[in-house]
């Protein structure tokens, strides 16, 4: 029993890494960032109707907060929920991409 509890504690303390989508889906997701997100956050994600999504603007926001915002939207704002279109794993990958400043590359 102690061993099981120790294993659970160790597993829960591991960082949640984004599972990388296949190459075709990565292209689709980067296109979504550029065109769909870019329609509010600016073509280069430097801000517009929505705030800038540059790594320097996001570094103090937790991955969980950003993932929740993308998945569920923000009430009383123009930010819609994207949960119907992208999985939680894809959302985590997008957060990783946004925080690494490599959104429009590749």
Tell me what pLDDT residue 11 has. 45
pLDDT in tens for each of the 106 residues of the chain? 554 444 444 444 344 566 899 999 999 999 999 999 999 999 999 999 999 999 999 999 999 999 999 999 999 999 999 999 999 999 999 999 999 976 555 4
Q: Contact at 8 Å (CB) between 61 and 105? A: no
Domain boundaries, the chain: 21-100
Q: Write down the pTM of the prediction.
A: 0.78
Tell me what pLDDT residue 79 has. 97
Q: Contact at 8 Å (CB) between 21 and 89? A: yes
Second-level CATH architecture of 21-100: Orthogonal Bundle (1.10)
Exposure of 95 by Cβ count < 10 A (0-12 exposed, 13-18 middle, 19+ buried)? buried
């Amino acid at each position: 029993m102690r061993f099981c509890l120790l294993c659970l504690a160790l597993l829960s303390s591991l960082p949640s890494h984004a599972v990388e989508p296949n190459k075709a889906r990565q292209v689709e997701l980067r296109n979504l960032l550029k065109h769909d997100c870019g329609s509010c956050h600016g073509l280069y994600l430097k801000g517009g109707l929505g705030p800038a999504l540059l790594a320097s603007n996001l570094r103090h926001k937790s991955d969980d907060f950003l993932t929740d915002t993308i998945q569920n939207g923000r009430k009383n704002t123009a930010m819609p929920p994207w949960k119907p279109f992208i999985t939680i794993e894809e959302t985590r990958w997008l957060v990783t991409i946004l925080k690494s400043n490599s959104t429009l590359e590749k």
